[in-house]
């Protein structure tokens, strides 16, 4: 957006009184990704982590009035559609959005994480119009079956991101289908947590935010998937059932293209004394590897700081700059004449790193780490 104006994201969805999914999750996602969230509430639910107790549908005209009020005054850069509630509202929403030229992400919400049904047969039939209108439709596996099954939905030749979280196995595979013969997939290890309420809402909204900010579809999906995974890792563990994710703890440095300065390693000659010193300063230790003489700390804004025992501590300082587009960044620097001591390579600790010296001889590491920066496998 020009002059730093945030992307304007219209969220059409139901309210979740427990704050885990729906409009509440959508607003948190847009806000943490730097957008401006606007809403058209379709339903008010009484729910918590254990389930949905009751649902009150907002009259169709009121839903449309909310959309009209936002579009006519503030404007919209992208739309996310979640829970609709009834067929009349679905058709009216389709009518109201048909003249918009911005990206539209449709998350066909039908069943809550708790199992509560949130869409009847007539509403599901009306989803056909919204799917044809959408830039991307994002069903999970149960929703895909209700829509007619994989082959039937793919036969409609609509852009489709099939979320694989409901499948069995240790890995979650999400599959993108844009056109016949044009597909993409992503696979990541399943995060073992019961705090999964709102994952679908969050993913769809994060994609919409990215598109509204001018990102291409694939990078928007990749950033959205990373945002969801970090929010799962940061989940606060609230409630007795399927708890909310930790949107509020996802740090911006993992989301931006970079470069971001967020990691420095300094040398030490006495591992135990140095660990004690930095803990006394108030830093939280997140990696403890005395055999390697290595410890990493974290501060409240998500920045990490490390010590590494070295006989020559004066030469062991390394400054780290992170970028999600590491390889392209290094290619650009090489074309400008900069010489790297190490070209980008995958390290055993989960980072991809490249190294070079600055004009004064200081060691600089350019890297990409994603969730592994704050959440390595060996995190305390």
Q: What is the DSSP letter of 367?
A: E
| DSSP letter string, 125-153 | HHHHHHHHH-SEE--BHHHHHHTT-HHHH
Between CA 144 and CA 152 the distance in angstroms is 9
- CA–CA separation, 90 and 98 (whole Å): 12
H or E stretch including 225? helix 217-233
Q: Which bin fits 285, alpha (ψ -120 to 50), beta or left (φ > 0)?
A: beta
Alpha-carbon gap, residue 24 to 104, rounded angstroms:
19
Catalytic residues: 163, 196, 198-201
**Torsions phi, psi for 84 (to 5 deg):** -105, -50
Q: In what order do the strands lie in the sheet with 171-179?
A: 51-57, 36-48, 8-16, 78-81, 104-106, 136-137, 160-162, 171-179, 182-189
Q: SS in 3 state form for 291-311?
A: HHCEEEEECCCCCEEEEEECC
Instruction: Return contacts of 52-59, CB within 8 angstroms, 24+ apart.
Output: 52/112, 52/114, 52/116, 52/118, 55/14, 55/85, 55/118, 57/85, 57/86, 57/89, 58/85, 58/89
b or e along 279-298 (b: 16 or more beta carbons within 10 Å of the residue's beta carbon)? eeeebeebbeeeeebbbbbb
**Token couple for 240:** 């007795």
Residue recorded with tokens 């009121």: 62
Cα-based angle 185, 190, 195 (whole degrees, multiple of 5): 120
Burial of 111 (0-12, 13-18, 19+ CB in 10 A): middle
CA distance 66 to 373: 41
Q: Which tokens go with 145?
A: 């079956």
């Amino acid at each position: 957006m020009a002059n730093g104006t945030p992307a304007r994201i219209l969220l059409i969805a139901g309210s979740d009184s427990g704050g885990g999914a729906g409009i509440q999750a959508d607003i948190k996602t847009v806000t943490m990704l730097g957008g401006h969230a606007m809403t058209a509430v379709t339903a008010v639910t009484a729910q918590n982590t254990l389930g949905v107790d009751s649902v009150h549908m907002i009259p169709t005209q009121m839903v449309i009035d909310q959309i009209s009020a936002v579009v006519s005054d503030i404007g919209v850069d992208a739309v996310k559609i979640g829970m609709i509630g009834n067929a009349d509202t679905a058709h009216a929403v389709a009518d109201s959005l048909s003249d918009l030229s911005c990206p539209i992400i449709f998350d066909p919400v039908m069943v809550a994480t708790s199992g509560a049904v949130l869409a009847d047969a007539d509403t599901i039939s009306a989803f056909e119009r919204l799917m044809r209108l959408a830039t991307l439709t994002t069903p999970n596996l149960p929703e895909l079956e209700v829509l007619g099954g994989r082959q039937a939905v793919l036969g409609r030749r609509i852009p489709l991101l099939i979320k694989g979280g409901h499948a069995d196995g240790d890995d979650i595979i999400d599959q993108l289908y844009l056109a016949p013969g044009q597909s993409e997939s992503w696979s990541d290890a399943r995060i073992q947590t019961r705090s999964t309420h709102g994952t679908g809402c969050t993913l769809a909204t994060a994609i919409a935010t990215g598109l509204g900010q001018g990102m291409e579809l694939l990078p928007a999906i990749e950033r959205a998937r990373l945002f969801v995974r970090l929010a799962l890792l940061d989940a606060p563990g609230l409630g007795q059932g399927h708890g909310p994710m930790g949107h509020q703890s996802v740090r911006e440095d993992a989301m931006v293209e970079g470069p971001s300065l967020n990691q420095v390693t300094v040398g030490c000659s006495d591992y135990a004394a140095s660990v004690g010193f930095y803990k006394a300063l108030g830093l939280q230790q997140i990696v403890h590897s005395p055999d390697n003489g290595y410890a990493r700390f974290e501060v409240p804004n998500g920045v990490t700081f490390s010590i590494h025992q070295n006989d020559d501590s004066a030469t062991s300082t390394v400054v780290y700059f992170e970028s999600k587009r590491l390889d392209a960044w290094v290619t650009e620097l090489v074309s400008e004449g900069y010489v790297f001591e190490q070209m980008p390579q995958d390290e055993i600790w989960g980072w991809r790193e490249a190294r070079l010296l600055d004009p004064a001889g200081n060691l600089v590491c350019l890297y990409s780490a994603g969730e592994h920066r704050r959440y390595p496998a060996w995190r305390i």
